[in-house]
Amino acid sequence: MMHEFKRYPLTYTIIAINVVIYLFTALLSGSLIEIDPRVLVRVGALYGPLTIADGQWWRLLTAMFLHGGMTHLLMNMYSLYLIGRGAEQYFSKAAYLSLYLFSGLFGGLVSLYVHPDAVGVGASGAIFGIFGALAGFFLAHRDRIGTYTKAFMKDFAVVLGLNFFIGVAIPSVDMSAHIGGLFIGLIGGYIIAKKPNILWLFDLVMLGVLFIGIQVVTSHYAQMLH
């Protein structure tokens, strides 16, 4: 087990953080199976009236580590287990974290734009971002790593199936966050795979685009209210 952790420290650390936070919310909810939406909102879920209207944009980050129930958590963590270990083989730790966090943040932002009054939680946007990053990596180096494509597509099918089930079965999960995360991850993964030394520039651009996105979502929300 220690050997596995040493090989994939980021993936296992992120999984552990999600599990610990879930247990904390389960304690507050009084249930290990389903988490009270009021608890989720209290500890950092996405919710338009608070995130947008009250300017609590830190919820874009905290919502990535919250889950609506045991099924939601287990399926997301299994998806991360499948996808994350591959990403740690192909990307640096800094690139992995950057892709994971920005995919989750943008996934949350897209979710807010589409469903601002829903309670949104989950690591799906970030996980889809890591999947997109792997797809971008394979696309960037498709002439050299064709032998890995079949294994990748197998994991792809499993992750897509799990997340489709999650999106249909769990009301607090917004599929738009998956699309937003996947898009950012795909672009970022391709760029970083081609030019690993410009990770700092990618981060800088993403921060700028995130700031613009926040302004767009805020304006859209204001128009909805009037």
3-state secondary structure at position 67? coil
Instruction: Look up 92 and say whether it is catalytic.
Output: no
CA distances from 156 to 51, 118, 160, 164 (A): 32, 28, 6, 12
3-state secondary structure at position 46? strand
Candidates 103, 111, 176, 178; catalytic one: 178
Three-class HEC string of 116-141: CCCCECCCHHHHHHHHHHHHHHHHHC
131: nearest Cα among 78, 65, 71, 87: 87
111: nearest Cα among 63, 70, 67: 63
3-state secondary structure at position 168? helix
Report the chain's terminal Cα–Cα distance, integer Å. Answer: 56
Tell me how far apart the alpha carbons of residues 191 and 168 are, in angstroms, rounded to a whole number: 32
Tell me how far apart the alpha carbons of residues 105 and 167 are, in angstroms, rounded to a whole number: 18
Candidates 124, 172, 176, 226; catalytic one: 124
Q: For residue 54, how many other CB atoms are within 10 A of its CB?
A: 11
Instruction: Look up 176 and say whether it is catalytic.
Output: no
Tell me how far apart the alpha carbons of residues 97 and 89 are, in angstroms, rounded to a whole number: 13
Catalytic residue set: 124, 178
